[in-house]
């Protein structure tokens, strides 16, 4: 099979489709992105790498950072983190407070906002310099020291992040936030403001296709068992209220962000990143999902 | 790897553990089962088959039948069935009416009771003799003509199935049941009353490990794409409100029933069935889940 | 104060307003009513009675019958009925199943459908001939032996009453229906099918303005305390999810039905009935509510 | 009727009952109150006033202040306030976020915490010196210039008020808080920290029994219509999820606070205040409710 050919064909087929959906508009920085941007990059374990389109342009990875933060927390704290956040799909929109009320402040999983805020609190408690240390972690795995936060985006989110502030205080009312609510929130927004390219993303996530171990400079990020579990989590919970649909149509573990990025992992094979800013009604990249459906259909690559 | 040795070791290790949980007790027929029953059977594509314990004793497969009914409906009606039932995890207990109210009568997926009742209605509309034809379908795939319904169990369920009757009428109020509510309900209970052994189950489900095609007497049950999708559905929705946990701990698509049975599928490799009647709090076989955790840990078999 | 003059003025002012809202359309019998019908009748304890418009034409009282059924059950079973149905406002639409799930099958109050179905079950258990005895009860209080059920309306409701059937089976799953679900449902629909005029209604409900005792032929229907409690219930729960608004705007205990009727009671003074078939979004008579707002504003009659 | 005799008898009868329930314990200041405190004071329009027990000892009125704040906002802004807060009973616990999510940030009524926080925001926008002006309003109506906030209680609430902070930010995410969230919250806690005696309370609320007009030094606080509406609101929403029960058992408009105080109003007759710190499961004063049941039963005073 020729990955380059399949990706190029799927890219071209998706590119010419009318771009449905809308840009995330709750902060100006995301609303001003050129909606025609479209990039794809794959990094494989044994067949090299390949990029097409705007694959080397940096964008705001937003919620994709939730996978990175939970990996760091998991590597430090181990299974203990699952006492403070669950592993079940949420069944409702990504920022709902309803389930928290019935579940006594334990978020359903680390990929809903509430869960990622709890993970931020865990990291805030154990890291010496949370913001600096997390960036170091990301840079070291990806091997790209130019990856950085966007202060502008982080500040914008803090300005309008009332619902996340509500979530954070609500979690604190259940005792599931140990630090100052607004400090944790700031750190959470910092992590979401990370900017990198599809190329960076696919390199960064390759360790999840490689049983938890970095490839270029071998070192263990997660144990084999932990890596499998994070993949399982992405499979069941990675796409908000469209996780089932994504598993059904694409068949790979993955995670999306409202910046229009998606990362998908085929354990034992590759990590692939897509970026197209317009979002479908569930908040996932419209063309990103379409491309991955086409790619997995044509490549007959799926975990199922 | 020696599958027999791994299964035997995992079986022995699980067998001696104190059997936590409780029998399903809402109908006498399930409450009277010997709680110490414990059987396992694996059928592989290339490495033969193996059973241990009570692997050839028939039991009530209950909700495992929901996979079979949706496969039959999918094979006949194609993608059209997804207009009447979704593919998302439910996030709440398996018999909840709450989400139906907010989702206008479209059940979240075919494995919650509401979804399986809609699937029963679809089959009831298209099959000449629903009860007979469904049994024929199951027998033909498994290659065992002694598989049958339990009239006693079906009758018991109908006697106390008030919540399912409520679900069925509620679905009908949204127009998502086309036949007489009580007829559909009777057919649904009939399908749930199917009895077979672990050996039968693992043979029956092997087509889902084989891209939709029967193995012994090759014939296509589902297309390759359909089979992958059913596996994805089992992965995200197969274990009620514990689907994420099962993916996290076991890492295989599967489906459980309140009779204590579990089927799990490793696409491209095997189907494995376990039976142990005591259920954990989420309604899944306590030892069944424990065994599969041990088995996949030892065999290092997981899709992730 | 001249009640006739105030009612006539309020009637005229309301009559000429454009009739917003829509007829109840879930059964043909209600959808075919002439939407311009508009009648009012007041019966007082000390100032006689007065009717205007279509005040002597019979219509389907629908949910207004829920007050009568709970009065009969209360008079027979006393405070014991409150173990099976609550006295709190529901806060959601009148036919919701959601709250039943969190409240273990105890309906919030006897005026939501679920509560009225439980009351029907109570009566079905204690009355010799439920349908005949309930009609006798209504006729005897109103002093009008021509009041009767509409077999046509009751049959129509039974034909399309899937949501009420769902409610009834759901209640039975919690053990809060003791008789056959479909028998109770039929009796419930029978009671809702009662037909009478505004004149009949205001005479019928006068006992609630008179401390529980009939006026023309004195006899106690409810104790003084029981009558006060039923009035309090109508005040807090009588208008579905608009009960607060009705208390806020009108300030009298009352009950509405989807046939377009409303009864309101001023304890110690009078009972007033209005009928206009078009319903507002909350399911209450649009002009009925408007008339009562105008009437209580002009008469300065309110319990507050 | 001899009010003194009835009150004294009801007081004695209630006093000797074992005090069920528990003190509010979420802030130390409320948890340290002597649980045996018990006072009653009535102020009538035509029959003088009377107090018994700890009727002149000041306590924290907590949520009773919500009636005062909505009266002030209503008097300034008129009907416009009902665009930002509803008038319907909530049907769930007093601090729930669930309904806000489905109602787009419009609280059900001004007596749930969310509603009172919106009212605080309205006052914060229109008052020159919110904290000072509100106190002035309360002092002027009650005629007691020693009434004051408790800085200690307000500070304690701010320290642990995470759920209210969550509510406030959640409301702001819907655009229903116009000022800085934490400023509004501080003002809300200030108002809840008001301390006064039963005597003060019954004098203060007498204007609601008098069609909105102060009695001793006549001046209009609310119009007649506004006063009736506030009474209707207290009737349907004044006691959290026990409002129906209170209407059912007591039959008067009223409002409770977690400090153990209750005010009840009989329009046209009197205002009566009770204080006993132990709360029942719904958060209302256990003995306070018991006393009012006994008082209205013996006095046969009820609006119904």
Mention the CATH class of domain D3-62+194-299.
alpha beta
Q: CB-based contacts of D106: which residues, under 8 Å, 6+ apart? A: D84, D85, D86, D100, D174, D176
Q: How far is the C-alpha of D207 from the C-alpha of B2, rounded, in Å?
A: 87
Flag whether residue B173 sits within 8 Å of chain C, measured between CB atoms.
Answer: yes
Q: How far is the C-alpha of D233 from the C-alpha of D252, rounded, in Å?
A: 11
For range C22-44, the mean pLDDT: 92
Q: Do residue D247 and residue C228 have CB atoms under 8 angstroms apart?
A: no
Q: CB-based contacts of C293: which residues, under 8 Å, 6+ apart? A: C249, C250
Q: Do residue D228 and residue C302 have CB atoms under 8 angstroms apart?
A: yes
Q: Do residue A87 and residue B225 have CB atoms under 8 angstroms apart?
A: no
Q: How far is the C-alpha of A18 from the C-alpha of A39, rounded, in Å?
A: 16
Q: Which residue on chain D is closest to A105 by alpha carbon?
A: D163
Flag whether residue B172 sits within 8 Å of chain C, measured between CB atoms.
Answer: yes
Q: Is the pLDDT reported for residue A1 higher than 70?
A: no
- Annotation: CATH topology of A65-192: Beta-lactamase (3.40.710)
Specify the 3-state DSSP secondary structure of D76: helix
Whole-number pLDDT of residue C115? 96
Q: Do residue A232 and residue B87 have CB atoms under 8 angstroms apart?
A: no
Of D253, D218, D211, the C-alpha closest to D232 is D253
Whole-number pLDDT of residue A37? 97
Whole-number pLDDT of residue B241? 84
Flag whether residue D86 sits within 8 Å of chain C, measured between CB atoms.
Answer: yes
Q: Do residue B169 and residue C165 have CB atoms under 8 angstroms apart?
A: yes
Flag whether residue A172 sits within 8 Å of chain D, measured between CB atoms.
Answer: yes
For residue D44, what is the DSSP state? Answer: E
CATH number of A3-62+195-299: 3.40.710.10
pTM of the model: 0.92
Measured in whole angstroms, the distance separating CA B52 from the mean position of its chain's CA atoms is: 21
Q: Do residue D91 and residue C88 have CB atoms under 8 angstroms apart?
A: yes
C33 contacts C59 by C-beta, under 8 angstroms: yes
Flag whether residue B170 sits within 8 Å of chain C, measured between CB atoms.
Answer: yes
Q: How far is the C-alpha of B175 from the C-alpha of C26, rounded, in Å?
A: 13
For residue D220, what is the DSSP state? Answer: B
Flag whether residue A229 sits within 8 Å of chain B, measured between CB atoms.
Answer: yes
Q: Which residue on chain C is closest to D231 by alpha carbon?
A: C304
D93 contacts D161 by C-beta, under 8 angstroms: no
C298 contacts C12 by C-beta, under 8 angstroms: no
Q: How far is the C-alpha of D210 from the C-alpha of D226, rounded, in Å?
A: 12
Q: What is the sign, positive or negative, of the torsion defined by CA atoms of D246, D247, D249, D253?
A: positive
Flag whether residue A97 sits within 8 Å of chain D, measured between CB atoms.
Answer: yes
Whole-number pLDDT of residue C4? 93
**CA dihedral in degrees (C122, C142, C65, C255; nearest 10)?**
-120
Whole-number pLDDT of residue A101? 79
Of D71, D247, C16, C237, the C-alpha closest to C246 is C237
The alpha carbon of residue C105 is apart from the nearest alpha carbon of chain D, in Å, by 15
Specify the 3-state DSSP secondary structure of B255: strand
Q: What distances in angstroms separate CA B27 from CA A253, B155, B166, B259, C89, one per listed residue? A: 39, 10, 18, 11, 36
Q: Which residue on chain C is closest to D236 by alpha carbon?
A: C236
Whole-number pLDDT of residue C90? 82
Q: Is the pLDDT reported for residue B1 higher than 60?
A: no
Of D238, D225, D58, D251, the C-alpha closest to D142 is D58
**CATH homologous superfamily, domain B3-61+196-299:** DD-peptidase/beta-lactamase superfamily (3.40.710.10)
In CATH terms, is domain C3-60+195-299 a member of 3.40.1350.10? no
Based on C-alpha coordinates, what's the Rg of chain D?
A: 18
The domains spanning B3-61+196-299 and B63-192 adopt the same CATH topology: yes
Q: Is the pLDDT reported for residue B94 higher than 70?
A: no
- Any bridge partners for residue B44, and if so which? B270
For residue B78, what is the DSSP state? Answer: G
Flag whether residue A223 sits within 8 Å of chain B, measured between CB atoms.
Answer: no
pLDDT band of B92, cuts 50, 70, 90:
low
Phi, then psi, of D96 in degrees rounded to 5 = -75, 140
The alpha carbon of residue D11 is apart from the nearest alpha carbon of chain C, in Å, by 21
Across D216-249, b (16+ Cβ under 10 Å) vs e yields eeeeebbeebbbbbbbbbbbbbbbbbbbbbbbbb
Residue C34's Cβ-count burial label (10 Å; 0-12, 13-18, 19+) is exposed
pLDDT, mean over chain A = 93
Of A297, A292, A275, A303, the C-alpha closest to A23 is A275
Which of B96, B98, B169 lies nearest to residue C166, judging by beta carbons? B169
pLDDT digits (tens, 9 = 90+) for A77-99: 999 999 999 999 886 655 577 77
Residue pLDDT tens, chain D, 304 long: 588 999 999 999 999 988 788 998 888 888 889 999 999 999 999 989 999 999 999 999 999 999 999 999 999 999 999 999 999 998 665 557 777 877 889 999 999 999 999 999 999 999 999 999 999 999 999 989 999 999 999 999 988 899 999 999 999 999 999 999 999 999 999 999 999 999 999 999 999 999 999 987 789 999 999 999 999 999 999 998 899 999 999 999 999 999 999 999 999 999 999 999 999 999 999 999 999 999 998 988 788 8
Give the ipTM of the model, two decimals please. 0.91
Flag whether residue D231 sits within 8 Å of chain C, measured between CB atoms.
Answer: yes
Spell out which residues of chain C touch residue B169, defining contact as CB-CB under 8 Å: 162-163, 165-166, 169
Q: Which residue on chain D is closest to C297 by alpha carbon?
A: D225
Q: How far is the C-alpha of A188 from the C-alpha of A120, rounded, in Å?
A: 6
Q: Is the pLDDT reported for residue C12 higher than 90?
A: yes
Q: How far is the C-alpha of D120 from the C-alpha of D114, rounded, in Å?
A: 10
Which of C233, C237, C248 lies nearest to residue D233, judging by beta carbons? C248
Longest CA span, chain A? 54
Of C182, C169, C187, C173, the C-alpha closest to C65 is C187
B267 contacts B303 by C-beta, under 8 angstroms: yes
Flag whether residue B185 sits within 8 Å of chain C, measured between CB atoms.
Answer: no
The alpha carbon of residue B175 is apart from the nearest alpha carbon of chain A, in Å, by 23
Flag whether residue A186 sits within 8 Å of chain D, measured between CB atoms.
Answer: no
Residue A41's Cβ-count burial label (10 Å; 0-12, 13-18, 19+) is buried
B164 contacts B188 by C-beta, under 8 angstroms: yes
Which of A87, A249, A267 lies nearest to residue B245, judging by beta carbons? A87
Q: What distances in angstroms separate CA C91 from CA A96, C262, D114, D231, D238, one per listed residue? A: 20, 20, 15, 19, 14
Q: How far is the C-alpha of A100 from the C-alpha of C169, rounded, in Å?
A: 30
Q: CB-based contacts of A278: which residues, under 8 Å, 6+ apart? A: A19, A20, A21, A22, A23, A35, A260, A285, A286, A287
The alpha carbon of residue B157 is apart from the nearest alpha carbon of chain C, in Å, by 12
Q: How far is the C-alpha of B234 from the C-alpha of B257, rounded, in Å?
A: 13
Q: Which residue on chain D is closest to A175 by alpha carbon?
A: D162
pLDDT digits (tens, 9 = 90+) for B244-260: 999 999 999 999 999 99
Q: How far is the C-alpha of A289 from the C-alpha of A276, rounded, in Å?
A: 9
Q: Which residue on chain A is closest to B212 by alpha carbon?
A: A304
Q: CB-based contacts of C77: which residues, under 8 Å, 6+ apart? A: C122, C126
D23 contacts D277 by C-beta, under 8 angstroms: yes
Please report, for chain B, the start and end positions of each structural domain, with discontinuous segments joined by +. 3-61+196-299, 63-192
Contacts of D among chains (3+ CB pairs under 8 A) = A, C
* C-alpha neighbours within 13 Å on the C-beta side of residue A71: 27
Phi-psi region of B119 (alpha: psi -120 to 50; beta: other; left: phi over 0): alpha
Q: CB-based contacts of B190: which residues, under 8 Å, 6+ apart? A: B131, B134, B149, B154
B241 contacts B91 by C-beta, under 8 angstroms: yes
Q: Do residue A89 and residue B267 have CB atoms under 8 angstroms apart?
A: no
Q: Which of residues 138-157 of A touch B (CB under 8 A)?
A: none
Spell out which residues of chain A touch residue D163, defining contact as CB-CB under 8 Å: 169-170, 173
Q: How far is the C-alpha of D276 from the C-alpha of D34, rounded, in Å?
A: 9
Q: Is the pLDDT reported for residue B282 higher than 80?
A: yes
Q: Do residue B163 and residue C181 have CB atoms under 8 angstroms apart?
A: no
Spell out which residues of chain B touch residue A303, defining contact as CB-CB under 8 Å: 267, 303-304
Contacts of A among chains (3+ CB pairs under 8 A) = B, D
Contacts of C among chains (3+ CB pairs under 8 A) = B, D
Q: Do residue D165 and residue A167 have CB atoms under 8 angstroms apart?
A: no
Spell out which residues of chain C touch residue B172, defining contact as CB-CB under 8 Å: 162, 166
CA angle, B193 then B197 then B200, to 5°: 100
Q: Out of B80-84, C134-138, C207-211, D141-145, which region has the weakest mean confidence (pLDDT)?
A: D141-145
Which of D162, D170, D181 lies nearest to residue A172, judging by beta carbons? D162
pLDDT digits (tens, 9 = 90+) for A247-268: 999 999 999 999 999 999 999 9
- Any bridge partners for residue B272, and if so which? B42, B264
Which of A227, A232, A242 lies nearest to residue B248, judging by beta carbons? A232
CA angle, A87 then A93 then A97, to 5°: 80
Q: Which residue on chain A is closest to B243 by alpha carbon?
A: A88
B64 contacts B253 by C-beta, under 8 angstroms: no
For range C260-289, the mean pLDDT: 96
pLDDT digits (tens, 9 = 90+) for A261-303: 999 999 999 999 999 999 999 999 999 999 999 999 898 878 8
The alpha carbon of residue B174 is apart from the nearest alpha carbon of chain A, in Å, by 21
Of C268, C269, C233, C225, the C-alpha closest to C253 is C233
pLDDT band of C54, cuts 50, 70, 90:
very high
pLDDT digits (tens, 9 = 90+) for A37-78: 999 999 999 989 999 999 999 999 999 999 999 999 999 999
For range C148-170, the mean pLDDT: 93
Q: How far is the C-alpha of B72 from the C-alpha of B194, rounded, in Å?
A: 15
Flag whether residue A181 sits within 8 Å of chain D, measured between CB atoms.
Answer: yes
The alpha carbon of residue B232 is apart from the nearest alpha carbon of chain A, in Å, by 5
Which of A88, A229, A297 lies nearest to residue B91, judging by beta carbons? A88
C298 contacts C290 by C-beta, under 8 angstroms: no
Q: Which residue on chain B is closest to C175 by alpha carbon?
A: B162
Q: Do residue D91 and residue C87 have CB atoms under 8 angstroms apart?
A: no
Q: CB-based contacts of C159: which residues, under 8 Å, 6+ apart? A: C27
The alpha carbon of residue B29 is apart from the nearest alpha carbon of chain A, in Å, by 32
**CATH homologous superfamily, domain C63-192:** DD-peptidase/beta-lactamase superfamily (3.40.710.10)
Of B82, B47, B236, the C-alpha closest to A304 is B236
Annotate D255-273 with DSSP letters as a single string: EE-TTSEEEEEETTTEEEE
Q: How far is the C-alpha of B194 from the C-alpha of B157, rounded, in Å?
A: 13
Q: Which of residues 254-273 of A touch B (CB under 8 A)?
A: 267
Which of B228, B233, B236 lies nearest to residue A302, judging by beta carbons? B228
Q: How far is the C-alpha of C20 from the C-alpha of A299, rounded, in Å?
A: 59
Flag whether residue C223 sits within 8 Å of chain D, measured between CB atoms.
Answer: no
Whole-number pLDDT of residue A95? 58
Strands (E), chain A: 39-44, 49-53, 59-60, 195-196, 254-256, 261-266, 270-275
pLDDT digits (tens, 9 = 90+) for B15-25: 998 878 899 88
The alpha carbon of residue D186 is apart from the nearest alpha carbon of chain A, in Å, by 15
């Amino acid at each position: 099979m020729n990955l380059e050919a399949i990706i190029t064909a799927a890219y071209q087929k998706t590119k010419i489709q009318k771009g449905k959906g809308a840009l995330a508009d709750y902060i100006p920085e995301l609303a001003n992105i050129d909606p025609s941007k479209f990039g794809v990059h794959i990094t494989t374990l044994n067949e090299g790498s390949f990029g097409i389109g705007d694959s080397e342009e940096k964008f705001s990875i937003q919620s994709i950072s939730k996978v990175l933060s939970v990996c760091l927390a998991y590597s430090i704290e181990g299974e203990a983190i699952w006492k403070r956040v669950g592993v079940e799909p949420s069944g409702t929109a990504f920022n709902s407070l309803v389930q928290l009320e019935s579940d006594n402040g334990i978020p359903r999983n680390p990929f809903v906002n509430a869960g990622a805020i709890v993970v931020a609190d865990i990291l805030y408690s154990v890291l010496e310099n949370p913001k600096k240390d997390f960036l170091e972690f990301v840079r070291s795995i990806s091997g790209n020291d130019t990856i950085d936060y966007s202060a502008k985006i982080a500040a914008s989110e803090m300005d309008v992040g009332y619902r996340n502030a509500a979530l954070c205080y609500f979690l604190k009312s259940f005792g599931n936030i140990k630090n100052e609510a607004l400090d944790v929130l700031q750190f959470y927004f910092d992590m979401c403001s990370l900017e990198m390219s599809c190329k960076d993303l696919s390199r960064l996530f390759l360790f999840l296709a490689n049983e938890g171990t970095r490839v270029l400079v071998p070192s263990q990020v997660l144990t084999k068992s932990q890596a499998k579990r994070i993949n399982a989590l992405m499979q069941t919970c990675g796409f908000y209220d469209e996780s089932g649909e994504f598993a059904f149509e694409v068949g790979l573990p993955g995670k999306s962000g409202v910046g229009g990025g998606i990362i998908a992992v085929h354990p034992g094979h590759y990590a692939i990143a897509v970026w197209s800013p317009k979002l479908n009604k569930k908040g996932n990249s419209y063309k990103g999902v379409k491309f991955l459906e086409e790619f997995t259909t044509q490549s007959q690559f799926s975990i199922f």
